[in-house]
Chains A and B, each alone.
Chain A
Amino acid sequence: MWEPIARFLGPKPVEVVPYYVAGAVIFSVLVIVLLINLPSRARKPLIAIVTFLAGLFYATEFFLPIDEATQKNILTDYLVPARKLGSLLAGMTLTLGILSLVRVHGRNIVRLRAGWYNSAVLLGAMIAMVVFGLIDKYGTHEASKKIFNVLFEGMLINMDATMFSLIAFYIVSASYRAFRIRSVEATILMTAAFLVMLGQVPVGLALTAWIPREGDFAWMRLEVVKEWLLTVLNAAALRAIAFGLGVGGLAISLRIWLSLERGAYFEKEI
Chain B
Amino acid sequence: MQHAFEKIWPVLIVEVLTAAIIVWRILSAQRGKELFIRRIPGLNAIDEAIGRATEMGRPVLMVPGIGGFGVVALQALSIFSYIARSTAKFGNRIIMPVADPTVYTVAEEVIRDAYQAEGHPERFDPDSIRFLSDRQFAFASGVAGLIQRERIASSFMFGEFFAESLIFAETGNMVGAIQVAGTVHTTQIPFFIAACDYTIIGDEYYAASAYISRNPTMLGSLVGQDFGKLLITALFTVGMISATLAALDVPALSAAGKWFIELFQIR
Contacts and interface: CB of A to CB of B under 8 A. Distances in A.
B225 A248 contact: yes
A170 B194 CA distance: 10
Contacts of B138: 156, 159-160, 163
A66 interface: yes
A63 to B, nearest CB: 5
A125 B108 CA distance: 26
B105 A163 contact: no
Interface in A60-114: 61-66, 71-73, 76, 79, 89-90, 93-98, 100-101, 103-104, 107
Interface stretch (B204-212, B243-251, B259-267): B204-212
Contact of B205 (A103, A104, A248): A248
Contacts of A175: 194
Nearest to B137: A163
A252 B77 CA distance: 13
Contact of A248 (B170, B195, B207): B207
Interface stretch (B35-43, B50-58, B215-223): B215-223
Given A160-B136, A178-B193, A260-B26, A247 B229 contact: yes
Contact of A256 (B74, B113, B191): B74
A184 interface: no
Nearest to B106: A265
A100 B205 contact: no
Q: Is the interface of B mostly helix, strand, loop or mixed?
A: helix
B104 interface: yes
B163 A164 contact: yes
Given A170-B170, A241-B201, A267 B113 contact: yes
Contacts of A174: 166, 169-170, 173, 191, 194-195
B28 interface: no
A125 to B, nearest CB: 10
A71 B184 contact: no
B15 interface: yes
B104 A245 contact: no
A251 interface: yes
Given A250-B15, A265-B74, A76 B218 contact: no
Nearest to B22: A251
A76 B132 CA distance: 35
Interface string A246-262: 01111111111010110
A231 interface: no
B167 A163 contact: yes
A62 B77 CA distance: 28
Q: Which of the four size classes fits the interface of chain A?
A: 35 or more
B23 interface: yes
A61 B2 CA distance: 9
B232 A247 contact: yes
B46 interface: no
Contacts of A141: none
A140 interface: no
B134 to A, nearest CB: 8
Contacts of A159: 137-138, 141
A245 B221 contact: no
Nearest to A244: B203
B221 A255 contact: yes
A254 B224 CA distance: 11
A238 interface: yes
Nearest to B217: A260
B203 A268 contact: no
B164 to A, nearest CB: 8
Nearest to B228: A247
B116 A251 contact: no
Contact of B75 (A115, A173, A177, A252): A252
Given A79-B1, A249-B71, A103 B127 contact: yes
A255 B217 contact: yes
B44 interface: no
A65 B6 CA distance: 8
A243 interface: yes
Max chain B Cβ within 10 angstroms of own Cβ: one of A65, A96, A171, A174: A174
Given A79-B1, A101-B131, 20 more contacts: A63-B4, A65-B8, A71-B1, A90-B69, A94-B134, A96-B105, A97-B98, A97-B134, A101-B132, A163-B138, A174-B173, A244-B229, A249-B206, A250-B225, A252-B74, A253-B71, A255-B26, A255-B217, A260-B26, A266-B113
16 contacts: A64-B3, A73-B3, A90-B68, A100-B131, A104-B127, A156-B138, A163-B137, A163-B138, A163-B140, A170-B195, A178-B194, A250-B19, A260-B221, A264-B218, A267-B116, A268-B117
